């Protein structure tokens, strides 16, 4: 345990050390501060000329939102179209079929929203063509879009009168300067660990014992780096990072851990350099790290202790709860990784979360709901921004001042938008879970007819709630015993993913735009200081309060009930 703790601390510090200079570099990229970056600059200029976009131009809020909506609509139509006809023979050596329309719609929404919830299995439900030209592509572009929005928000906070910038310019730069090179680098590491990168058809292997099995393969190493770097999380194979081809050994595990957290953390350093307010960024970094630690610890504690009902049978359970986990990572690092992916909505898994202990489910659900303890690339900042507004408002009320954030007065419209969006984010999964429960109850024969839940009772309830929270938060992991490839689940989670992505993004852009129009208030002694540890702690409390109040009753129905039943 001691040695494991040292290893996990080391992993975390590697991420800090790598993301720091990366954040500095990002600040240069988005300030357009790079001089003499030969080849890339030339390529960029060509792209901008081709698109007839002036790289130093800027958009107003209406233009920005329209551009964002249009480009997403095009991605949706493009992906939807290909998934419907993927069953033809181009780059489809395994002969997998086309998708049914609700599944295709769910899959494409899932990937443009950077959620990557998958109701298909990569081995039999996708083709090489769709993996590369739909899923991998959408992982890149959705990540670049989130990053651009995040940058636009920060730009608005920089100076008064500063504008959002140009969506297309930020988008292209995110692709060429950040995601593309990092993905190539990570993929190279992965390929040399034995991850397949091939367009050959799957081979049939006869095992040593004489069993015959087809071994699914493909351009795996193209998809895996960006699924982590872009906080996407959709795996090439059905079992994501638990699959030996996606995660062959401990070295690949270490790389996975690093690149999931790398860009979300680098973004915080970026804020510090870009706003020239390192203290403010450090405060946010502190709050997020605290959240990550407090969410990871209970999961690790529960999983390494093992399942008491299995221990009762008299076997040796000292290696923890190993159901759904792989030997090469062990229960400690598997659950350590799950903690990271609950707070960062990559939501990749090295194990089957459905088989986790009930009390592990609570921190995972909280981590996803907050979605701002680091959170996704760009989207983490978006979520924490809502909490910042609420916390600054409450804090200023407490000391009897007009609410101010980073020198800008928070007015009524900003406050209404911020609370509205924050509440909606909590409400959507609750309402959808209620509807799902209602459908089960009203169907004659209930779950036996529908075949939704592989585990009954309290665990089954958690399964459904988890699915919707994960969809809304853009996380994409799930309790996989859910029979989720049905029209009901495909469409209802599509609604959750759609609102969970586009409502907060539109809201945050509007708030940031409104704030950017305001005059900077004078900083004096009486003003609430948002750079201090005190405010950080206060912000943390606000986050916990908002989320705990809304979901405590649900925990009582799901994971807590299962826990008490088990220990009874």
Partner 1 sequence: MKENMLPAIKVTAVAIFLFSILYPLLLLGIAYFGPNNGKGKIIEYKGRKYYKSIGQSFTGNKYFWSRPSAVNYNANGSGGSNKGPSNKVYLAEIQARIDSFLVHNPGIDKSAIPVDLVTASGSGLDPHISVQAANVQVKRIARIRRFKESVLNKLIEKHTEKPLWGLFGPKKINVLELNIALDNL
Residues 117-146 that bind partner 1 (CB under 8 A): 121, 123-124, 132-133, 136-137, 140-141, 144
DSSP H or E segment with residue 204: strand 203-206
Q: Which is nearer to partner 1, 365 or 405 (CB)?
A: 365
Interface with partner 1 includes 93 (CB under 8 A)? no
Q: Please, which residues have CB within 8 angstroms of residue 422's CB and are 6 or more apart in sequence? A: 386, 387, 390, 546
Please report, as residue ranges, which positions from 460 to 519 form the binding site for partner 1 (by CB under 8 A): 479-481
The residues pairing with 213 across neighbouring beta strands, listed in sequence order, are 205
Both tokens of 233, joined, read 């999380």
The SS3 of residue 69 is helix
Q: Which residue of 21, 81, 97, 194 would you call a contact of partner 1, by CB under 8 A? A: 194
Interface with partner 1 includes 276 (CB under 8 A)? no
The SS3 of residue 86 is coil
Interface with partner 1 includes 237 (CB under 8 A)? yes
Interface with partner 1 includes 56 (CB under 8 A)? no
Q: Which is nearer to partner 1, 67 or 424 (CB)?
A: 67
Q: How far is the CB of 265 from partner 1 (least distance, A)?
A: 20
Q: How far is the CB of 513 from partner 1 (least distance, A)?
A: 18
Q: How far is the CB of 253 from partner 1 (least distance, A)?
A: 7
Torsions phi, psi for 205 (to 5 deg): -120, 135
Q: Which is nearer to partner 1, 358 or 376 (CB)?
A: 358
Distance CA 408, CA 523 (A): 10
x-or-dash string of contact with partner 1, 241-270, rule CB under 8 A:
-xxxx--xxxx-xx----------------
Interface with partner 1 includes 435 (CB under 8 A)? no
Output b/e per residue, 136-161; b: 16+ Cβ within 10 A.
Answer: bbbbbbbbbbbbbbbbbbbbbbeeee
- Neighbour tally for 362: CB within 10 Å: 22
Both tokens of 67, joined, read 């551009």
Both tokens of 301, joined, read 């504690």
Contact indicator for 176, 41 with CB cutoff of 8 Å: no
x-or-dash string of contact with partner 1, 323-352, rule CB under 8 A:
xxxxxxxx-xx---------------xxxx
Q: Which is nearer to partner 1, 102 or 455 (CB)?
A: 455
Interface with partner 1 includes 88 (CB under 8 A)? no
Please report, as residue ranges, which positions from 162 to 181 form the binding site for partner 1 (by CB under 8 A): 168, 171-172, 175-176, 180
Q: Which residue of 264, 272, 320, 376 would you call a contact of partner 1, by CB under 8 A? A: 320
Q: Which residue of 310, 487, 491, 548 would you call a contact of partner 1, by CB under 8 A? A: 310
The SS3 of residue 89 is coil
Strands 408-409 and 404-405: antiparallel
Number of residues that bind partner 1 (CB under 8 A): 121
Q: How far is the CB of 187 from partner 1 (least distance, A)?
A: 5
Among 90, 133, 138, residue whose Cα is nearest residue 219 = 133
Interface with partner 1 includes 559 (CB under 8 A)? no
């Amino acid at each position: 345990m001691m040695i494991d703790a040292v290893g996990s601390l080391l992993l975390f510090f590697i991420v800090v050390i790598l993301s720091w200079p990366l954040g500095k570099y990002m600040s240069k990229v988005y300030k357009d501060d790079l001089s003499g970056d030969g080849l890339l600059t030339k390529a960029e200029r060509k792209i901008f000329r081709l698109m007839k976009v002036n790289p130093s131009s800027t958009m107003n809020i209406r233009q920005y939102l329209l551009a964002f909506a249009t480009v997403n609509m095009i991605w949706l139509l493009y992906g939807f179209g290909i998934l419907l006809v993927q069953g033809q023979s181009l780059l489809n050596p395994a002969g997998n079929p086309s998708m049914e329309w609700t599944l295709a719609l769910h899959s494409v929404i899932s990937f443009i929203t950077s959620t990557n919830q998958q109701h298909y299995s990569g081995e039999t439900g996708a083709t090489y063509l769709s993996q590369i030209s739909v899923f991998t592509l959408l992982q890149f572009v959705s990540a670049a879009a989130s990053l651009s929005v995040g940058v636009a928000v920060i730009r608005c906070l920089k100076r008064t009168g500063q504008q959002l910038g140009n969506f297309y310019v930020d988008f292209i730069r995110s692709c060429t300067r950040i995601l593309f090179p990092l993905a190539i680098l990570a993929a190279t590491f992965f390929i040399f660990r034995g991850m397949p990168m091939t367009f050959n058809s799957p081979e049939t292997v006869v095992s040593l014992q004489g069993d015959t099995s087809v071994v699914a393969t493909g351009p795996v190493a193209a998809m895996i780096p960006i699924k982590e770097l872009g906080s996407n999380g959709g795996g090439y194979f059905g079992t994501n990072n638990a699959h030996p081809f996606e995660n062959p050994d401990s070295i690949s595990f270490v790389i996975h851990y690093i690149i999931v957290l790398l860009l979300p953390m680098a973004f915080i350093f970026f804020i510090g350099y870009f706003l020239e307010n390192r203290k403010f960024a450090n405060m946010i970094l502190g709050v997020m790290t605290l959240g990550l630690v407090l969410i990871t610890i209970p999961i690790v504690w529960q999983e390494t202790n093992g399942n008491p009902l299995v221990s009762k049978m008299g076997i040796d359970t000292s290696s923890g709860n190993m159901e759904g986990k792989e030997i090469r990572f062990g229960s400690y690092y598997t659950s350590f990784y799950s903690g990271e992916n609950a707070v960062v909505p990559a939501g990749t898994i090295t194990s089957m979360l459905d088989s986790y202990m009930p009390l592990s489910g609570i921190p995972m659900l909280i981590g996803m709901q907050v979605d701002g303890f680091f959170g996704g690339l760009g989207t983490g900042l978006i979520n924490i921004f809502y909490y910042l507004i609420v916390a600054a408002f409450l804090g200023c009320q407490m000391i009897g001042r007009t609410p101010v954030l980073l020198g800008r007065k928070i007015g009524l419209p900003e406050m209404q938008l911020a609370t509205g969006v924050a509440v909606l984010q909590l409400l959507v999964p609750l309402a959808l879970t209620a509807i799902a429960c209602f459908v089960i109850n009203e169907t004659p024969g209930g779950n036996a007819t529908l075949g939704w839940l592989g585990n009954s009772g309290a665990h089954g309830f958690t399964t459904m709630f988890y699915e919707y929270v994960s969809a809304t938060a853009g996380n994409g992991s799930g309790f996989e015993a859910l029979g989720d490839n049905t029209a009901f689940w495909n469409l209802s989670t599509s609604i959750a993913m759609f609102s969970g992505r586009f409502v907060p993004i539109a809201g945050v852009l509007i708030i940031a735009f409104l704030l950017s129009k305001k005059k900077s208030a004078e900083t004096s002694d009486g003003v609430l200081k948002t750079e201090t540890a005190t405010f950080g702690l206060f912000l943390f409390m606000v986050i916990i309060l908002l989320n705990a109040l809304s979901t405590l009753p649900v925990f009582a129905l799901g994971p807590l009930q299962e826990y008490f039943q088990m220990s009874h």
